[in-house]
DNA sequence: ATGTATGCAAAACATTTGCACCTGG
DNA sequence: CCAGGTGCAAATGTTTTGCATACAT
């Protein structure tokens, strides 16, 4: 029950927060922009402001409920934080996002940071490519239609 | 001689372009925001507009003379492209940036992309950490003072 | 009740663009 | 001379903030 997640995070259980959390949990695409979320909630008849979506997402991020990524293209994307760290590979044609973890890469990063005299705190690895999905080229949604 | 670089890139040799290229080549810090460049040129008495800095940097990027990175913090940073691909590790305290290349990581990325059915086109790996430089904590310039 | 959340409109940023003027070849 | 470049101001797109109202507890 997601209302418990909110309470655990010390956040009051309100309609907008519930709806946003719900959407993040059930949406088929797991990486959404604030605008994506805003539009989908409007479409499903909710009355919500874009500013609230941003505020709530920022609070969720601070609470560790979601993580924010900066893929190319201006808008930040948000995803539910499910505890397991991972990196991303993004299709520059259709926008598809896959997640992966590679222990070798993780390990090498530690070695590199250490060699350069840094205490590693975080990292961001994004691979950009073209997916070989036949439906990819020309698939809608690639450029987040205005 | 940098005027040749400009000609090779098919760009007319103008004062603003020369100055920006010169600054990128000689600045002690190799990763600069458009605003950094703008301010430094103003400080050294040049008459230039911020819009021109952005335009020129964008052209330079298209010509392969500079590369643009999106570290955390809103502003893009630019660096002279010296041909050798590399990734970055950034100190979240003082803003220091170090470059590195790790063939193991590069190799693993190819394997991962292939396994997930992507043709890899580009990637961005940024490690965030705290450098152990004694002068780091409290060092000016970390937050790009407004 | 009452302190916190929300919606809306306005502000704040980073970056881009329109346009009249200037400049390099 | 003349296409292309520049500075300035205004426009854009994304995210944040101020404020009066609405809502959870």
pLDDT in tens, A3-44: 889 998 999 999 999 999 999 999 999 999 999 999 999 999
Whole-model pTM: value is: 0.90
Per-residue CB contacts under 7 A with strand C, chain B residues 43-82? 50-51, 54-55, 58, 74-76
pLDDT in tens, B50-90: 999 999 999 999 999 999 999 998 999 999 999 899 999 99
Residue in chain B nearest A127 by alpha carbon: B123
- Alpha-carbon gap: B125 to the closest alpha carbon of chain A (Å): 4
Question: How many Cβ atoms are within 10 Å of A126's Cβ, its own excluded?
Answer: 19
pLDDT on residue A142: 47
Alpha helices in chain A (DSSP H): 2-8, 15-26, 34-43, 50-62, 103-115
pLDDT at position A144 over 90: no
The mean pLDDT of A117-141, rounded to a whole number, is 86
- Alpha-carbon gap: A85 to the closest alpha carbon of chain B (Å): 14
**How far is residue B141 from each of residues B26, B93, B138, measured CA to CA in Å?**
19, 9, 9
pLDDT at position B140 over 50: no
pLDDT on residue A1: 76
A19 touches strand C (CB under 7 A): no
pLDDT on residue B138: 54
Question: What is the C-alpha separation between A123 and B113, in angstroms, rounded?
Answer: 19
pLDDT on residue A136: 83
pLDDT in tens, A70-120: 999 889 999 999 989 999 999 998 999 999 999 999 999 999 999 999 999
Question: What is the C-alpha separation between A128 and B51, in angstroms, rounded?
Answer: 29
pLDDT on residue B1: 79
Question: What is the C-alpha separation between A114 and A26, in angstroms, rounded?
Answer: 40
Question: What is the C-alpha separation between A3 and A18, in angstroms, rounded?
Answer: 7
Query: Cβ contact (<8 Å) for B127 and A108?
Result: no
pLDDT on residue A138: 54
Residue in chain B nearest A103 by alpha carbon: B108
| Partners of residue B122 in chain A, C-beta under 8 Å | 127-129
């Amino acid at each position: 029950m997601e209302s418990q997640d909110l309470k655990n995070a010390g956040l009051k259980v309100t309609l907008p927060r519930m709806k946003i959390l719900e959407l993040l949990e059930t949406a088929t695409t797991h990486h959404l922009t604030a605008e994506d979320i805003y539009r989908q909630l409007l479409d499903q008849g909710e009355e919500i402001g874009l500013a609230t979506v941003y505020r709530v997402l920022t609070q969720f991020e601070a609470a560790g409920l979601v993580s924010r990524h900066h893929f190319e293209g201006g808008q930040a994307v948000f995803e539910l934080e499910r505890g397991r760290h991972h990196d991303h590979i993004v299709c520059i044609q259709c926008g598809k996002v896959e997640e992966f973890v590679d222990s070798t890469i993780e390990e090498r990063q530690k070695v590199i940071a250490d060699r350069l005299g840094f205490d590693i705190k975080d990292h961001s690895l994004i691979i950009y490519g073209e997916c070989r999905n036949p439906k990819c080229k020309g698939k809608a949604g690639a450029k987040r239609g205005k």
